[in-house]
A and B are shown apart, each in its own frame.
Chain A
Amino acid sequence: MHLVIVGNGVAGITAAMAVRAKDPQAEITIISGESEYFFSRTALMYAYMDIMQRRDLEPYERKVFREQRLTLRKDWVVDLDAGARQLRTQGGATLSYDKLLLATGSRGRRAPWERDLEGVVRFVSLQDLDACERLTPGTRRAVVAGGGLIGVELVECLVHHRVPVTFLVREPSYWPAALSPEEGEMVAAHIRAQGVDLRLGTEVASMEGEGKVAGITTTAGEAIACQMVGVTIGVEPNVEWLRSVKTPPDLNRGVLTDQAFRTSLPDVFAAGDVAEVTGRIEPLWYAAKRQGEAAALSMMGERVEYAPPAYYNSAKFFHLEWTCAGETKGPGRFRKLPGREASVRVIERDGMAVGFSMLGTRWNHRVLVKWVEQRLRVDDVMKRLSEAQYDVEFGRVAL
């Protein structure tokens, strides 16, 4: 069997390794135009901050791919012919496959006000990192538009390089998608304390410059001169390239698949950020890993009925850590921990705990998820909260 995987991100590589673990014979080829070796996208910020070298981003030693006989090709796939079971690449090669996995991940969303000027950056790919590094020395001020997790990472990198940053966030409170207004206020205060010019409820209205970015004008009418504009308004499945191939799979926002990661094309599967599995996209590192593993089983003919487990996530806003489990929105009990930049919030419905949002201290999401699944009463959960704490030794925070 020749398995070809398009995309060498965490979904693709996890799938390749899972297939190899079960089938020592299979021929496995992984194609990516972005990088020759699998690297950790989540560590892009540390490379930008010069804390890590490019090579440090690679989660596996390079010899692992030789040992596991995973063939890596650095090329972009430009055509897919599901009838002939063939791919064509930009480099002119034709590849035949028996099974194909589409794992091309996400890409940064384009903003309506965006213009193709030098100085406009995203922060998703290695090429984005190159662009950021190239632009940093000539930047006297940067504007980052979009207050999601990638936005705050990019802001942190710029602050690290002592570049003054204006951080524009559309919503009136910081990251309302997951944080309550009180939490948003804490995070906003923390970001401002790092010297960031954070503007809530403000968007970019237009972008100025000839060839290069010269500045932007905000929706409040203020003109801000800048040499770099980070567009971090979210990511979307990287499916554009599939719209013009000979036999595109059914697409919606992502590549549509069933619970076994099968697309509308025979022997073509999709997993990770690019996949819309029964109508749902999970653009998360852990989910991509899980999907890659499950898709591998499915490609090997095992019965797979993927259902995402209870939601959880974590993040770090500069120095402020955050963990959530279950639901994050809705009425709940919020408590700021005395004397610290920390809080706990338990989301409640009908007297039961349905979610947790914990800021500034460490938590074991496994325990929190278990509580949500067990449908425990909020009163009981509040008493047992310390069982889920995960602070360092000697550092247990009083709740």
Chain B
Amino acid sequence: MIRDRLYHDLTNRGITGWIVAALLVWFYIALYFTENLTPWAQKVGLSSKWDLYGVLYTVVILVGGIAMIRKYGHNRYQVVRTAVVMFVQVVFAFSIPMMLKALHQPEYYLSYFWPLKFDYMNPEYLFRQPWPFVVYTLAASLVIVPLLAALFGKRWYCSWVCGCGGLANTMGEPWRHLSDKSSAAWKFEKVSIYSVLCISLALTGLLFYSWFTKSKAPEVVQFQTWYGLIVGSILSGAVGTGLYPLGGTRVWCRFFCPMAALLGITQRAGKRFHIRVKEDMCISCGLCSKYCEMGIDVRAYAQRNESFTRASCVGCGICSEVCPRGVLRLENQSGLVQISGGR
């Protein structure tokens, strides 16, 4: 069947996969670095290319989300999670900012937090906003977000709320298996993601220092510009989404996102969220590893009968879904030892 073959080609780094990747990268370059999309936005009655991007993003999440629910309709976790992703995108990442904009207010994206939304913790910006937003941002970024990650794992954000994860788990679903599972990729991930985290923490520190001392060195301004360009535009946009058909859907989340790094640390420290492995039932088929969008070799744990928490795990739950022997289960409990049954 030609349709099956085309789909296989598109989702397994065939020619069509490369073409789609090239188009996506081209789209992100056009979006971030040119005004080529502005006339298109105006043609459909939108005021800027960013509004057009918002509309496209939301539509794609809704279409991908419906496909996702149809595919995994028998799995309540997937249905609930995907419904929440769609809801958050429509309400918090689209409707509210658009309404605020229509009312000539600043467009706040209430589902994005520092350090992913880096500017929200830039004191020059933050302390010029109305006080409820200041309180919301400080409380959410510094207390609520990490606290929830400690209690429920980073999944509550990365695969339930975040727009980047939302896109990955809806439109990106057909490419999730392309993530690199090698131990070399894991090594690279640890270096790259914590480097970005350190850089973003350092920059935030510098911005606060400059704000307190009321003297902003030109180097800090330059640092800020480069951070925005490399992390904000190239890594999260062009590389993160553009390379879906080549590197899988979570390239940004896994290797670069400073927020994922921070939540990963909290998830490990919280010791509550884990993937439980039912003992001596794994047949090492490897579907779990194959479908892990974060490139975790889940099979390696399952075949060792080892329940585990990995910092990178976003708790999408697909490993558990595809396991033909029902070995894996996402859980939120303290005390791994007590529940794994002992041996």
Give chain A's interface residues, CB within 8 Å of chain B: 10, 40, 42-43, 46, 50-52, 56-57, 59, 61, 63, 162, 285-286, 289-290, 312, 314-316, 319, 321, 323, 362-366, 390, 392-395
Contacts and interface: CB of A to CB of B under 8 A. Distances in A.
Contacts of A321: 324-326
A59 B278 CA distance: 18
Which of A289, A315, A321, A392 counts the most B-chain CB atoms under 10 A from its CB?
A392
B76 A394 contact: yes
B279 A362 contact: no
B270 interface: no
B281 A392 contact: no
Given A392-B320, A392-B321, A366 B283 contact: no
A316 B324 contact: yes
Which of A286, A366, A393, A394 counts the most B-chain CB atoms under 10 A from its CB?
A393
A281 B43 CA distance: 72
Interface of B: 1, 4, 8, 12, 74-80, 182-183, 278-287, 289-290, 299-300, 303, 317, 320-321, 324-326, 329-331, 341
B77 A394 contact: yes
Contacts of B8: 50
* Secondary structure call for the A interface: mixed
B184 to A, nearest CB: 9
A43 B286 contact: yes
A286 B76 CA distance: 29
A314 B281 CA distance: 8
Which of A10, A52, A59 counts the most B-chain CB atoms under 10 A from its CB?
A59
B188 to A, nearest CB: 15
B285 A314 contact: no
A286 B77 contact: no
Contact of B283 (A40, A51, A56, A364): A40
A10 B75 contact: no
B284 A366 contact: no
Given A59-B299, A312-B281, A366-B279, 17 more contacts: A42-B285, A46-B285, A46-B290, A56-B290, A61-B182, A286-B283, A290-B280, A315-B324, A321-B325, A323-B326, A362-B329, A392-B75, A392-B76, A393-B76, A393-B329, A395-B75, A395-B77
A375 to B, nearest CB: 19
A10 B183 contact: no
A110 B191 CA distance: 54
Closest 9 CB pairs of A and B: A395-B76, A43-B285, A362-B326, A394-B76, A42-B283, A316-B324, A392-B77, A59-B284, A40-B284
A312 B106 CA distance: 61
A258 to B, nearest CB: 23
B278 A390 contact: yes
Nearest to B75: A392
B281 A365 contact: yes
A395 B317 CA distance: 12
B93 to A, nearest CB: 23
A162 B284 contact: no
A392 B325 contact: no
A59 B287 CA distance: 11
Contacts of B282: 286
A10 B282 CA distance: 12
A42 B284 contact: yes
A393 B77 contact: yes
28 contacts: A42-B283, A42-B284, A43-B283, A43-B286, A52-B287, A52-B290, A56-B290, A162-B1, A286-B280, A286-B282, A286-B283, A289-B280, A314-B326, A316-B325, A321-B326, A362-B329, A363-B326, A364-B278, A390-B278, A390-B326, A390-B329, A392-B75, A392-B321, A392-B330, A393-B76, A393-B77, A394-B80, A395-B76
